[in-house]
């Protein structure tokens, strides 16, 4: 299960909306537990370097700053979030091929129906498994 602080969830969705009509992206950090669950407490918005409505690329400078900030706060980068502007919130072939870390959580927010639909996945060696997500009060 992935638990997201409400303020982080709101920041994350606002950033993805601001990125429309292109895909928007960012990283998130928090505490990972040994059982695979995690609690998200920080969001690091990124420019989509690809500037595309079909793919995303995290800005390397944002990634470096996020790594340093998370480490300074005793947290770790838990994963990446991006939007799907035209498709369901499910990893595309490109998403699977570009999944950099099997320990990461991959959040996808779809705007296909207008309202944001958030889902999270683990992607390990090409295998996709959905995980439960909860939004917790701060």
Give me the domain span that covers residue 86.
2-136
Q: Is the dihedral of CA 41, 47, 52, 56 positive or negative?
A: negative
CATH number of the domain residue 45 falls in: 3.40.140.10
String of DSSP letters for the chain: -EEEEHHHHHHHHHHHHHTTTS--EEEEEEEE-TTS-EEEEEEEEE-BTT--SS---B-HHHHHHHHHHHHHTT-EEEEEEEEESSS-SS--HHHHHT---TT-EEEEEE-TTSS-EEEEEEEETTEEEEE-EEEE--
**Residues near 61 by Cβ (< 8 Å), separated by ≥ 6?**
none
- Which phi and psi (to 5°) does residue 117 adopt? -120, 110
pLDDT score of 28: 98
Which tens digit of pLDDT belongs to each residue from 101-138?
A: 889 999 999 998 888 999 999 999 989 999 999 999 87
What's the mean pLDDT in 13-33? 96
Domain count, the chain: 1
In the predicted model, is pLDDT for residue 12 greater than 90? yes
| 8 A C-beta contact, residue 20 and residue 55 | no
Rounded distance between C-alpha atoms, residue 55 and residue 50, angstroms? 7
pLDDT score of 100: 78
Which tens digit of pLDDT belongs to each residue from 64-111?
A: 999 999 999 999 999 999 999 989 999 999 999 888 788 999 999 999
């Amino acid at each position: 299960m992935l638990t997201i602080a409400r303020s982080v969830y709101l920041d994350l969705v606002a950033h993805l909306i601001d990125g429309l009509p292109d895909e928007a992206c960012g990283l998130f950090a928090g505490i990972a537990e040994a059982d695979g669950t995690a609690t998200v407490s920080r969001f690091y918005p990124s420019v989509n370097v690809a500037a595309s409505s079909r793919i995303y690329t995290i800005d390397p400078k944002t990634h470096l700053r996020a790594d340093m900030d998370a480490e300074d706060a005793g947290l770790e980068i838990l994963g990446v979030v991006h939007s799907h502007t035209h498709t369901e919130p499910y990893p595309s072939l490109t998403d699977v091929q570009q999944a950099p870390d099997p320990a990461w959580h991959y959040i996808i927010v779809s705007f296909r129906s207008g309202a944001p639909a958030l889902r999270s996945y683990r992607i390990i060696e090409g295998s996709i498994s959905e995980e439960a997500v909860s939004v917790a009060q701060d």
